[in-house]
């Protein structure tokens, strides 16, 4: 067998390099969800320029900044914490220990007002009914 060249000797002495582990993505954040909603209602950009492959901005459509999405996220977190605080106080006062539909409705009613309260109540009822239908779908009468 012929002698190894200097580079082959160095390679033979070094242990094989480990492959870099791919970073696993965590679950999507609330900001990702809000950005998708904003894109849905504010519109998308005009696509890509075929020559330069750059995004073409559509000047007629509104956009939202990352900091504005962060502010909306903080408002949502504050509203949720207010509702949960109200629910905790309601459960303490009533002596119950289970967070149910009536507790959620009462806590939301105390935390919100006006049109926001009405829309939140309708959306909550719709969510509960769709969940009930998913868990135990209605069987048509024969």
pLDDT tens for each residue of 6-35: 555 555 566 666 777 777 888 888 888 888
What global pTM score does this model have? Answer: 0.62
Annotated domain spans of the chain: 29-64, 80-132
Nearest Cα residue to 35 out of 79, 65, 75, 77: 65
Encoded tokens for 101: 């539909």
Domain at 80-132, CATH homologous superfamily:
Histone, subunit A (1.10.20.10)
Pick left, alpha or beta for residue 41 (phi over 0 → left; psi -120 to 50 → alpha; otherwise beta).
alpha
Q: Is the pLDDT of residue 135 over 70?
A: yes
Determine which of 30-34, 62-66, 112-116 has the lowest per-residue pLDDT on average: 62-66
Q: What are 57's strand-pairing partners?
A: none
Q: Could you tell me if 107 and 87 are in contact, meaning their C-beta atoms sit under 8 angstroms apart?
A: yes
**Does an H or E element contain 71, and which?**
helix 66-94
Pick left, alpha or beta for residue 56 (phi over 0 → left; psi -120 to 50 → alpha; otherwise beta).
beta
> Mean pLDDT across the stretch 88-100?
93
């Amino acid at each position: 067998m012929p002698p190894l060249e200097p580079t082959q000797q160095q390679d033979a002495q070094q242990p094989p390099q480990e492959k870099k582990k791919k970073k696993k993505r965590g679950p999507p954040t609330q900001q990702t969800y809000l950005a998708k909603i904003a894109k849905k209602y504010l519109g998308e950009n005009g696509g890509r320029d075929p020559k330069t492959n750059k995004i073409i901005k559509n000047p007629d459509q509104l956009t939202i900044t990352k900091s504005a999405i962060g502010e909306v996220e903080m408002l949502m977190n504050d509203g949720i914490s207010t509702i949960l605080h109200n629910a905790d106080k309601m459960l303490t006062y009533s002596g119950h220990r289970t967070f149910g539909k009536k507790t959620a409705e009462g806590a939301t009613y105390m935390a919100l007002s006006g049109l926001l309260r009405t829309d939140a109540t309708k959306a909550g009822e719709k969510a509960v009914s769709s969940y009930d239908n998913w868990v135990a779908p209605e069987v048509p009468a024969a």
